[in-house]
Amino acid sequence: MRSHAIRIIARYTIVEALRNRLLWLVAATLAASLVVAGFLQSVTMTESGAIQSAILAAMLRLAAVFIIVSFVVTSMVREANDKGLELILALPLPRASYFFGKLAGFVSVAVVLALLFGLPLALFAPWLQVGVWTASLACELIVMTALSLFCVLSLNQVTSALAAAAGFYVLCRSIGTIQIIAAAPLDPVSGWSTEVIRLGVDGAALLLPHLDRITRTEWLLYAAPDTATMVIALLDTFFYGTLLCGAALFDLYRKNF
Amino acid sequence: MNERPLSHVPGPVLALLTAGLALQLFWHASLGPPKAAAETLSPPPPAMMVRLASLGETVAAAKLLMLQLQAFDYQSGSRVSYQKLDYARVQAWLALILELDPGGQYPLLAASRLYAEVLDEAKQRSMLDFIYVQYLLDPNRRWPWLAHAAFLAKHRLKDIALARKYAAALQQHTTAKDVPAWATTMEIFILEDLNELEAARVMIGGLLASGRITDRGELHFLNGRLEEIEQRMEKGQGGKSTR
């Protein structure tokens, strides 16, 4: 791998984000979120700060995930349609350099997005808690960035890649609850089908990152998590990121352009 | 675009994929499955927030929330004792679910059949009171749960006055035609247990005169009860009903 090439590809990915007016979209989302916050303040009788933080955090997290996933998918598909990908692969450059260059660029955009989306929450919650939440949002966005890259490299189509990423996100945010519910059916003698479902859910839970464990709104409302919880979130991001990188590279190297 | 053979994948990429998969599986296996702990039952979010988050699918959201609440009762094959749950929070969750899906019966079934049957009297009373309040909001649909609450008050708590309060509410507020007479006439038997024979006699007489009872079997049964009460009153019997 060539670090110089990785840096150049990453830089152009960031330039593309700027030229795509992604910052305008972020600004519009932040403005909308402040309007929602003002509305909430006018309709709540008590705990207005907590309600504003909780609703804004949920909204901003969803918006950030949507923005980064759609940016990664559309950017990669556009590059493939413009034959830019084939041009780069024709250069004496390992495919891994291209992949890591794109990943570094997208991850940089994701981290900036997390920082910008964490800012308005500082109006309603203590700085430390907002900082921890922002860091955890960055972890969640990094996982979703790597996943979107994997989906778009494998599926090549905007619709299917977006659908796969959305399905994955919903599953990862709810897998913990699904696992608890599946672990103990009301009827303990309901038979083999229940056991098969439970094993399937447990298997999926082993493979998927538990995003509900990575970013949690209660950290904004009540108290910042302890160090162990943050370490778990970081390791979840790192391990799953490694797996996604391996899977995406495996797919990229097997492709015949 | 076809696929290149596996030999075109460099060794380090295969190693990265294998290591990533192994790390992920090992990491999650070492963390163990998530468990619901009674103390982690958090306060429910505002109904407005759930409406917003569910994009208007409030009934579906209510059903999912009920399943999630239920997950705090059951974990990994062993039931968490209901007594360990914070009942104020459980009731707040149940009220939220009923607000989102007023037609749903599951929350009140859980309240009357699960949460109200714990061995902690204070928690039992608190849950029965919750059922009573929720019944008053929609008597014709929620009467079965208050009827069960009256049964619990009488036989488990041995609180005849409380049972009478619930039975009286059933008699006064339940007006649907498809409600069986035993539910709306429950107060009569409780009055008999309280030795308030005159009140029981008046109530049966009133019911028969109102025309609300149309089933011949029920009419026959109530007439029999009326005669029995009147005989007991004539004899001046002071003991409790032998029913």
**A19: closest CA of chain B, how far (Å):** 30
Give B-chain residues touching A184 at CB under 8 angstroms: 74-79
Report the alpha-carbon distance of residue B198 to residue B212 in Å, rounded. 21
Helix (H/G/I), strand (E/B), else coil: A190: coil
Give B-chain residues touching A55 at CB under 8 angstroms: 49, 52
Whether the CB of B3 is below 8 Å from some CB of chain A: the reply is yes
Q: Do B34 and A179 touch (CB under 8 A)?
A: yes
pLDDT at B78 over 60: no
Give the DSSP letter of residue B115: G
In one-letter notation, the amino acid at residue A86 is E
Give the DSSP letter of residue B74: E
Q: Do A235 and B27 touch (CB under 8 A)?
A: yes
Is-contact A65 A145, C-beta < 8 A? no
Helix (H) or strand (E) holding B13: helix B11-31
Q: Do B16 and A242 touch (CB under 8 A)?
A: yes
Q: Do A246 and B13 touch (CB under 8 A)?
A: yes
Long-range contacts of residues A135-138, Cβ cutoff 8 Å, at least 24 apart: A135/A230, A136/A214, A136/A215, A136/A216, A136/A219, A136/A230, A136/A233, A137/A60, A137/A61, A137/A64, A137/A215, A138/A110, A138/A111, A138/A114
Whether the CB of A83 is below 8 Å from some CB of chain B: the reply is no
Q: Looking at per-residue confidence, does B216 or B60 come out higher?
A: B60
Give the residue from B13, B40, B69 with the most A CB atoms within 10 Å of its CB, the best one to mutate: B13
At B77 the pLDDT is 43
Whether the CB of A205 is below 8 Å from some CB of chain B: the reply is yes
Report the alpha-carbon distance of residue A249 to residue A227 in Å, rounded. 33
At B42 the pLDDT is 78
Q: Do B4 and A236 touch (CB under 8 A)?
A: no
Computed over every residue of chain A, the mean pLDDT equals 87
DSSP letter for each residue of B139-192 = HHHHHHHHHHHHHHHHHTS--HHHHHHHHHHHHHH---TTS-HHHHTHHHHHHH
- The pTM assigned to this predicted structure is 0.69
Whether the CB of B220 is below 8 Å from some CB of chain A: the reply is no
Give the DSSP letter of residue A184: S
Whether the CB of B49 is below 8 Å from some CB of chain A: the reply is yes
- Percent of chain A scored above 70 by pLDDT? 95
> What confidence tens digit (pLDDT) does each residue in B162-197 have?
988 998 898 888 888 778 777 877 887 777 776 677
**B68: closest CA of chain A, how far (Å):** 7
**B236: closest CA of chain A, how far (Å):** 52
At B38 the pLDDT is 56
Report the alpha-carbon distance of residue B9 to residue A26 in Å, rounded. 38
- Alpha helices per DSSP H over chain A: 3-19, 22-43, 48-81, 84-90, 95-118, 127-155, 158-183, 192-207, 211-214, 218-221, 227-254
Q: Do A184 and B75 touch (CB under 8 A)?
A: yes
Give the DSSP letter of residue A255: B
> What confidence tens digit (pLDDT) does each residue in A108-127 have?
999 999 999 999 888 888 88
Q: Do B20 and A243 touch (CB under 8 A)?
A: yes
Give A-chain residues touching B49 at CB under 8 angstroms: 51, 54-55, 58
- Angstrom CA distances, B23 to A100, A164, B193, stand at 20, 23, 68
What ipTM does this complex have?
0.78
> Which residues 6+ apart lie within 8 Å of A148 measured at CB?
A68, A69, A72, A73, A106, A161, A165
Report the alpha-carbon distance of residue B78 to residue A102 in Å, rounded. 48
From A140-149, B36-45, B123-132, the region with the lowest mean pLDDT: B36-45
Computed over every residue of chain B, the mean pLDDT equals 80
Q: Is A71 left (phi over 0), alpha (psi -120 to 50) or beta?
A: alpha
Q: Is A91 left (phi over 0), alpha (psi -120 to 50) or beta?
A: beta
At A74 the pLDDT is 94
Q: What is the mean pLDDT of residues B54-80?
A: 71
Report the alpha-carbon distance of residue B217 to residue A197 in Å, rounded. 49
Q: Is A21 left (phi over 0), alpha (psi -120 to 50) or beta?
A: left
Helix (H) or strand (E) holding B198: helix B197-210
Angle at B78 between CA B31 and CA A185, to 5 degrees: 90
Q: Looking at per-residue confidence, does A90 or A195 come out higher?
A: A90
